[in-house]
Structure 1
Amino acid sequence: MTGAIGEPFQPQDLVITLLGTYVRGFHETVWSGGLVVLLGEFGFSHGAARVALTRLVRRGLIARVRSGRLVHYRITDRADRLLAEGDGRIFTLGTRRSAEGTWTLLWHQIPEDRRLERSRLARRLRFLGFGSMQDSVWVSPHDHSPEVSQLLSDLGVAQYATMFSSRVAGVAGLRSLVGRAWDLSGLAERYDAFCGEFGKYVWRGRPRRLDDFSAFMVRTRAVHLFRGFPVLDPELPEDLAPLSAPRARAAEIFHVLYEGLAAGSRRHFDRVTAAR
């Protein structure tokens, strides 16, 4: 199964989408066999699905729960926090006020023997919309100093980092920086691809009528692909990146499908994951 512009879906990532969309807030646990079947509907073999579930257990994102001879999974506290943060970014994309003018710059010298922390820091900064100018220099067009300070403290690397927050007087000198830190042309293509794939399921602000299986496939794909935009889109001021129109169109389509196809897609999910 591939994404909107050809990248293959990864089974672990798709499991996280399923858990965040259909389990978190609705069920305490979910039957492992049902998850395997659902991943199969997206083209993954039973073996690949079970390997993905095992690796998510090792990563501390899900935990096994036995019920007789059946294995269920529950979302761990760590995964629940990450999903909550992700929802906060996904459902507010396009609503951020970019006129605040405060940028955040982070520079660090985390030692090589702390590679795990370096990797986790990079992932979390991308999640916040930071762009990388160099391996150890990160920039955001928004004031993220509270979140970054907490992140550095949580990872135990605050002593290796320096952070600056400041207002930018003009944009003339920022264009080359922006071009190095973010792939804006690629982002515009992704928004266009998303609208091209999912816009056909929306008519006059409402989702087209679909059977439960089709609703599940369309809604889940839309959620999974839209999840990537907050990581890729720093929501720059419009004079630096004129993306407000494609962003708004993609967000509109996403919200229509997320809400309008919820009932049918949930019925399909619940039928497949009913333990048997």
Structure 2
Amino acid sequence: MLAFFGNHVLEQGDLCVYSGSIIEVLGRVGVGEQAVRSTLTRMVNRGLLQRKREGRRMYFGLTPQATAVLHDGRNRVWRQGAVNDDWDGSWTLLGFSLPDSWKRQRHDLRSQLTWSGFGALYSGLWIAPGHVDVSSIVAELGLAAHVKIFHAQADQATDIELMIRDTWDLESIAARYVTFDKRWTAHLGADTGDDPIGTRLLLVSEWLGTIRTDPRLPARHLPPAWPARAAQETFRKVADQTEEPAARMARELLDTARLA
């Protein structure tokens, strides 16, 4: 759902989309109507979407919170990329201690840290390459009193490559890139057929899922021929190939309105 709104609404200002259009597009990638409706309701309840009724039709648009989330995702996908060639040698460390009963808060914090590139160095000490500003995440979760953040460099006695292998599951991260690359290489140069909008939605969704748990570790400390580079090249080629056909189809297919 976030990929759909990122593809077709994010850059359109206060645009909102008729629920029936959303159901039709997500149906093209195998998502059922009931799943779409329940997801839309959950996202409204979480403050990610807002509704507008016109006659008997319900339209959905982005809230400022969702817009910020999607801009962050867009930055990760199109600007930062999956390969970290320009690491400056610094690390961000975050230590936390939460009451045992705070299971939800612990889960939310770990999820946000993972997306921000952190891995668990120890149970309550997480680390990420580079200077990562997570103060807003901590504040939004209401955990500022339970978290300490540091920016530092490793001592020469620290084996960085060993630390990386101990902290992150490199085999799993690499396998996701290899799987993505094999699946989407077949689309290069191929006709997108009658469904470029569905193809692009799947492409972006699967790429976001692939990079979600990749902390963008420094390339010089990763195994040779790290597969993120090839997978990213494939993603961008297919994205370029489907961009205009998907946009043209969206203009024909989506029933939209303005939130204002």
What SS class does the counterpart of residue 118 from structure 1 fall into?
A: helix
Deviation at 1:218, TM superposition (A): 2.4
- How many residues are paired up? 254
Deviations 1:48-99 (A, max 9, x none): 2211111111111111110111110011110000000111111121454444
- Could you tell me which runs of 5 or more consecutive residues in structure 1 were left unpaired when the two chains were aligned: 1-14
Which residue is equivalent to 2:206? 225
Deviation at 1:169, TM superposition (A): 4.0
Deviation at 1:45, TM superposition (A): 2.1
After superposition, where does 1:77-156 map in structure 2 within 5 Å? 77-91=64-78, 92-94=80-82, 96-112=84-100, 114-144=102-132, 147-156=133-142
What SS class does the counterpart of residue 140 from structure 1 fall into?
A: strand
Deviation at 1:102, TM superposition (A): 0.5
Kept in 2, the 8 Å contact 1:226–1:254? The answer is yes
What SS class does the counterpart of residue 269 from structure 1 fall into?
A: helix
Deviations 1:24-61 (A, max 9, x none): 11361001011112222222222222111111111111
What SS class does the counterpart of residue 224 from structure 1 fall into?
A: helix
Sequence identity, in percent? Answer: 26
Kept in 2, the 8 Å contact 1:62–1:76? The answer is yes
Specify whether residues 77 and 171 from structure 1 end up closer, same or farther in structure 2 by C-alpha distance, changes over 3 A only: farther
Kept in 1, the 8 Å contact 2:87–2:129? The answer is no
2:187 to 201, 222, 233: 201
TM-score, structure 1 length as denominator? 0.82
Cα distance in 2 for partners of 1:87, 1:242 equals 27
Deviation at 1:250, TM superposition (A): 1.2
Q: 2:94 corresponds to which letter in structure 1? A: L
- Could you tell me which runs of 5 or more consecutive residues in structure 2 were left unpaired when the two chains were aligned: none
Deviations 1:161-191 (A, max 9, x none): 1222211244863344323422210111111
Indicate the structure whose relative CO is greater, using CA pairs within 8 Å and at least 6 residues apart.
2
TM-score, structure 2 length as denominator? 0.87
Q: Which moved more, 1:165-174 or 1:221-230?
A: 165-174
1:253 to 234, 239, 250: 234
